[in-house]
Structure 1
Amino acid sequence: MFNTYIFDLYGTLVDIRTDEESWELWSKMSLLYQYRGAIYKPQELREAFEQGVKTAIKRATDMDKELTNRKELDELSEQTKLEIQIEYVYQELFHNKGVEITIDECSQIAQFFRSVSTCYVKLYKGALELLQELKAKNKKVYLLSNAQAVFTRGELQLLGILPYFDGILLSSDVGYKKPDRRFYERLLDTYHIDPTTAIMIGNDYRADSLGGANVGLHTCYINSNLSPREDANMIANMKADFILESMDLVKVKSLVLR
């Protein structure tokens, strides 16, 4: 049916649970910062981190407005979703305490944060088999995910699915998130994808189904345990080529790969 398959990651192929609010996490992060000479109490560090993320997003938003002409801004306003690179937030927290540190070191600290905050990360049943069959049939397979590369690339390696993708585009690398059409267009342009023969498969109706359809892609929506809560109330009125009311990648395979 299709030549090209574009997947979302978390909630579509990968089931993950993280806890970024635990006292244990911020206690360990505080200790790590203190080892490097940046003295933060756990709660102080958490609040500084959250404010750092907000500041980085505002900075990105202001820059985007400066670089985008008025007409384009009006057209994009309702779907603009900007992304930051989280490792630079960790670096700024050191700088705020007068400590110099490289961005590579901050990438390692970000990975430490991810490993401590992750309760579990695993493939959904049938995910590996679906990817294997797509490759066996010489289909093109791409990943388009709202994700931090500093977290996600290691998890792709850990889960053993990195080799199955012909191309990977992560929001932190591009500066945009789904459903921003610029994120989709970057994927289509970079890999010369014909949207009429491609399908977007994901678990977020607005980001994956509406976002994909907005650039001419076919779409498959999966209501998984990680889908936005409002999706459950929208299923009856959803518009997608395929709609699954629960996670079932075996059924996805039967629907989109014939």
Structure 2
Amino acid sequence: MRYKNYIFDLYGTLVDIHTEEDNQELWEKMRLFYGYYGAVYRSWEEMWKTYGALVEKYREQGEAMRNDGHEACPEIQIQLVFADLFKEKGAQPSEELAVHAGQMFRVLSTEYIRLYPGVPKLLDRLTRQGGNLYLLSNAQRIFTAYELAFLELEKYFKGILISSDYSVMKPDPEFFRLLLQKYDLKPEESIMIGNDEICDIKGAQKVGMDTCYIHSNISPEYTGKGKATYTLMKTDMEKLFQTIS
């Protein structure tokens, strides 16, 4: 094996997903759900705008707290936003209800979620040949933990780090260091595989890891500035295996 440790991004690298979070039908249904529990919004636009304002508030709070020399890449806990959507209208939700509201939002906003072709075979081959697999994802646990189970991906990874658990996200090098330290991994024995030149590639390079950029249907526009160790301009799991194994 070329590397001892294979660190994967999730969405856009292993998982193809499309969500629509700004449409009227979604927020009309969310408004109805919240109304059942005493949080009555006058219109879907009011609720949608309140949601956006709360997300921005938590992001700004996170940035203000980052005075420790890290890059300004804080992550929020989205369940706090869904809890505050109740509180804005005088309701007092349990933690469980706030989580369920967030998960309902995720289900309603997801048009599809599926593995890219060849993903199970890729992960199985890397494991059988002695590779240690890890997942490093900018994501929300209340969504991603359940989607990993639904897609039957958990079994392949020796470690999974989700950004909402650590209040930091890629490309902040601190998030990569957390993974390396937690599992006692050496950067020179590890490679980061992801579909984002900035979050996945530049972040991993700052801690001394080799990188593999894979351009997928939901990658940001490619600039070539990431200068990954390896670059694949289409999602091809067989080619990826040949490149990194």
TM-score band w.r.t. shorter chain: over 0.9
Tell whether the 8 Å contact from 2:79 to 2:142 is kept in structure 1 after alignment: yes
Cα distance in structure 2, aligned partners of 1:218 and 1:64: 27
Tell whether the 8 Å contact from 1:209 to 1:220 is kept in structure 2 after alignment: yes
Q: Aligned with 2:66: secondary structure? A: helix
Tell whether the 8 Å contact from 1:80 to 1:179 is kept in structure 2 after alignment: no
Q: Which residue of 2 aligns with 1:82?
A: 74
* 4+ aligned runs moved over 4 Å, structure 1: none
Write the mapping of 1:119-198 to structure 2, written as runs, cut at 5 A. Answer: 119-198=111-190
Which segments of 5 or more consecutive residues in structure 2 lack a partner in the other structure?
Answer: none
Cα distance in structure 2, aligned partners of 1:254 and 1:30: 49
Which segments of 5 or more consecutive residues in structure 1 lack a partner in the other structure?
Answer: none
Q: What letter matches 1:183 in structure 2?
A: F
Tell whether the 8 Å contact from 2:63 to 2:72 is kept in structure 1 after alignment: no
State the superposition RMSD in angstroms. 1.0
Of the candidates 203, 221, 230, which is equivalent to residue 242 of structure 1? 230
Q: What letter matches 2:29 in structure 1?
A: K
Write the mapping of 1:96-135 to structure 2, written as runs, cut at 5 A. Answer: 96-135=88-127
Matched, 1:93 2:94: no
Cα distance in structure 2, aligned partners of 1:63 and 1:245: 38
Tell whether the 8 Å contact from 2:66 to 2:72 is kept in structure 1 after alignment: no
Q: Which residue of 1 aligns with 2:55?
A: 53
Partner deviation per Cα, 1:19-62 (whole Å, 9 max, x = no partner): 11111100000000000000012111000000000011111122
Cα distance in structure 2, aligned partners of 1:202 and 1:55: 29
Q: Aligned with 2:72: secondary structure? A: coil
| Worse-matched range after superposition: 203-212 or 96-105 | 96-105
Partner deviation per Cα, 1:205-236 (whole Å, 9 max, x = no partner): 1111111111011100011111112x1xx23x
Please state which structure has a larger fraction of its residues in helix: 1
Q: CA deviation at 1:138?
A: 2.7
Q: Output the TM-score relative to the length of structure 1.
A: 0.92
Q: Which residue of 2 aligns with 1:19?
A: 20
Q: Which residue of 2 aligns with 1:252?
A: 240
Q: What letter matches 2:153 in structure 1?
A: I
Q: CA deviation at 1:80?
A: 2.2
Q: CA deviation at 1:64?
A: 2.1
Cα distance in structure 2, aligned partners of 1:23 and 1:239: 40
The count of corresponding residues between Structure 1 and Structure 2 is 243
Task: Label 1:238 to 1:98 Cα distance change in 2 as closer, same or farther (>3 A).
Answer: closer
Cα distance in structure 1, aligned partners of 2:88 and 2:54: 10
Partner deviation per Cα, 1:182-213 (whole Å, 9 max, x = no partner): 11111111111111010000000111111111
Q: CA deviation at 1:238?
A: 4.3
Cα distance in structure 1, aligned partners of 2:96 and 2:156: 27
Cα distance in structure 1, aligned partners of 2:26 and 2:186: 44
Matched, 1:9 2:10: yes
Q: Aligned with 1:169: secondary structure? A: strand
Cα distance in structure 2, aligned partners of 1:83 and 1:175: 4
Q: Output the TM-score relative to the length of structure 2.
A: 0.96
Q: CA deviation at 1:63?
A: 2.0
Q: Aligned with 1:221: secondary structure? A: strand
Cα distance in structure 2, aligned partners of 1:191 and 1:4: 10
Partner deviation per Cα, 1:44-94 (whole Å, 9 max, x = no partner): 1000000000011111122223xx2xxx2xxx4xx4211000000010111
Cα distance in structure 2, aligned partners of 1:191 and 1:80: 24
Percent identity of the aligned residues? 41
Q: CA deviation at 1:250?
A: 1.1
Cα distance in structure 1, aligned partners of 2:192 and 2:153: 18
